[in-house]
Structure 1
Amino acid sequence: MSDHNPKEPNINSLSLDLTQLIFSSLPLPSLLRASAVCKLWNSLISSPSFTSPCLSYPWFFLFGLHNTSSRNNQSFAFDPLSNAWFLLPRLDDPSSSSAFLGSNGFFFTTTPNFSYTPVLKSAWRFTSPLKFSRLNPLLGVFYDGSSGGLGFKFIVVGGVRFIGGLVDIEDRLAVEIYDPNRDSWELCPALPADFRSGNSSQSLSSALFKGKFYVSGIYSCFVSSFDLRNRVWSEVQTLRPPGVIFSFLIPCNDMLVLAGMCNAPRGPSFNLWKIDETTLEFSEISIMPQSLLHSLVESEEDENFASLKCVGMGNLIYVFNEEYHQKYPSCLCEISAENGKCSWRRVPRLPLPVNKFHKVISFCSTVSLTHSFPQQ
């Protein structure tokens, strides 16, 4: 005999629309648990019509690569709504390559073979060969309305090319666009020669914004944009606010943001500027609180700040220290869509144990439900 009192409310007696509305208020980890309760809930949450604010919040992904033992590789994902880190299943490398990269929603290998997989679902897919294979290029995932089928394309920019194990000093700074529906690469106009002295993701940052792929020099402060429709590069300009030591270009909801380390008269600071994409004029919108900045480094010496990295998208910007002995501390800035106000907070420490990595890959991505939980 059931213990349920028919006069008491029962979620199973609610309409499907109301049940979906309740689910839409849950953070993603709770949605994953709810989807495993029964087939009905799974179908409601996985329905194409289901929407949730948690799907628009970019997660922070941190992938640690060990150069001698892949068993020591670790993948972490931070959910800003639940304010929690998750240790992801170990990501198997399909080509035994150290050339891992990440970009909105995907992990990639670029050499010896180009392949990709959704970040939360290990399902590697190999592509036809790049015309110019390379290490550490910039990568972007974009939607141009003409892709059909899978609906997305990849753009690969710059990187280091090897011939016979040696760096190709005559590298063409190649730019290629991949169409997964045709499994084909399109060779595009090369990255401007101004970026030749540092054309890998180690010295460049990128931002996809309003149909353009922006490339900026982290230290040189050179900036140029590639028009994804017309396949042309803009004139190279310099974007260096006063005192900037190094900087990263970040695509936010309706604006470009430059995030950078400054050597100001009042002392070291980490600043954010709003960038006018037409004129490249800048205006300061926020400075990281000093207490947060000091929590990311051991001391205020310049060399300690050099290990700070920055990624972001949507309304969130993450700043972290990629040094192992610091255990990769990080913080985030949330930019209000209503008034543009910036709110900073510390991100919890990574869940222990944290292995020692020789390379750290970081990026932001929204999370697709279809790649997050098993179908029943």
Structure 2
Amino acid sequence: MVLTETKQGNSSLSSVSESSEMPSISILSTSSQLKYVSLGVLVLQTTSLVLTMRYSRTLQSEGPRYLASSAVVCAEVLKIVACLLLVFRDHSFSVHALNQVLKEEIINKPLLTLKLAIPSGIYTLQNNLLYVALSNLDAATYQVTYQLKILTTALFSVFMLGKSLAFYQWLSLVILMTGIALVQWPAEPASVTKQEDLTAGSQLMGLLAVLVACFSSGFAGVYFEKILKESKQNVWVRNIQLGLFGLIFGLGGVFVCDGERVHENGLFQGYSGLTWTVVALQALGGLVIAAVITYADNILKGFATSISIILSTFISYFLLDDFDPTSVFFLGAMLVIAATFLYGYESKSAVNPSKVQKTGHEMINTPNH
């Protein structure tokens, strides 16, 4: 009888222990799934954005070309609207609850709101610089140079967030940079016609634009991640704040840089279906990056972007028929894949067990280290 009771007691304790562990395992599994889903979407979004933006800036058409500054403003407006809808959904589609959240997080926390003006202004500058770069550089030069943002992000993560990267993680960054350089290494010198199209002045302008964008991307991304960790609040609310400042900075850029052209032909001059596609992809990029920062981190975001370069190269070869892959390309592709797996292995080995104890809300709104 005693043995029976003891077995029953152990059985019940075991069942309670198993049931208590199930939510934690489920939360961790959900977080891991969201991380890889967000990274996959980022790969697709980045690939589409680079191809469509480059094509839209080089496409010859009648009438004036669309203003890059106005496209940045439109993207901010779309991002704000999308984030408002997401917050509205998270609060059971209640207008009153939405107003309360916006009042508490934006109006009643002026210091935190002002902090977000810094990354917002940098992001606005970065978005405009990418249009400048893709208007003055060929795709290969742009893509290779822009991968410097992976290194700048890693350095800012170490100095600003206090992250400690293992030797193999640093090695993976070096391997990744080498692989991307090999993937995008030109097979042969550009033709005389293409060299005439890209003057030395325009190439220098494009190169400077990419370099500044690399440093701004690394700093702004890590700064925003730091704010998210300190505030512990919904990432979509933070993006509304970023978008509001971005809209102000963007409109200022429109009227300072393109005021005369706007006065002559309007804000939406040269817009087409392709232009609106670029705008939508750029707005989606801000949301996807926010999700990646929440579920993963900035360096992993850089790896996803690098993979998208390989994907865009394949698309250029099979659909556009303007790329002839060589053995150097395949070597670079293997190095990038190896670097991605190497960094992923180090990330898994550094998982903090205490995170398993967090609630679902905290897992969603706290970036992984």
Tell me the TM-score range normalised by the shorter chain. Answer: under 0.3
Higher-RCO chain (CA-CA 8 Å, sequence separation at least 6):
2
> TM-score, structure 1 length as denominator?
0.27
- More helix as a share of residues: 2
Give the TM-score normalised by the residue count of structure 2. 0.27
